[in-house]
Amino acid sequence: MVLLRVVRLMLSADVWPALVGARFAVFSLPFFWLESGRLLCVAVFVCLCEPDGGLVWPLGFVVLVAAADLLVPFGVWVLFTALREFVGLPGVLVVVDVLRVQFVDLELVVLLFFLVSVLGLKGVRLEVALSSVVLLLDVVRALDTLLRLGALVVRIGLSAFGIF
């Protein structure tokens, strides 16, 4: 049953940008070790691409996505796109912000397990970045989700950008 919902979320997340007619792009911000020049990690974020070539940052559209009750499928699309892009880069940590509504969704752990398994990515190469607000609003559920993510060997980080 849970797997069926995950597949449904992935399908709706995959077609969602096309249905809306919006053009979203997932961008990455690489972080290098200065002494060696080695790529340490990649922070991933999404922007809305305007027809004139401009970019709208998440604060400009995430409220609309939330109002349409599409944050969870949208997040699935972002996660899948980001992980698919970097699965071939060995040893690179992929950092993705997860919003509160995505974090408290009970199937986040199942979804991450599914994505990591399907893409062949080792969980230790994925870091879920959360705002501190996420951890404080529902401490019991947050602790449960954190323990489950830890069992998947998914790293947890604090985000400076998380507002939802």
pLDDT digits (tens, 9 = 90+) for 116-150: 777 777 655 788 888 777 777 778 888 888 888 88
Task: Note whether 128 and 121 are within 8 A (CB).
Answer: no
Q: What is the pLDDT of residue 123?
A: 56
* Confidence band for 152, pLDDT divided at 50, 70 and 90: confident
Task: Note whether 107 and 5 are within 8 A (CB).
Answer: yes
Any idea what DSSP says for residue 124? Answer: G
End-to-end CA distance of the chain: 28
In this structure, which CATH number among 3.20.20.450, 2.60.40.1120, 3.40.50.620, 3.40.50.1820 belongs to the domain 2-158? 3.20.20.450
- Residues 24-76: pLDDT tens digits? 888 888 888 888 888 888 888 888 887 787 888 887 777 777 777 777 778 88
Rg (CA), the chain: 16
Q: What are phi and psi of 133, to 5 degrees?
A: -60, -40
Q: How far apart are CA 141 and CA 105, in angstroms?
A: 10
Q: How many CB atoms lie within 10 A of CB 21?
A: 6
Highest mean pLDDT among 34-38, 54-58, 110-114, 151-155: 34-38
Q: What is the pLDDT of residue 10?
A: 52
The answer to whether the Cα torsion of 44, 46, 49, 50 is positive or negative is: negative
Helical axes 139-151 vs 108-119, angle rounded to 10°: 20
Output the pTM of the full model: 0.69
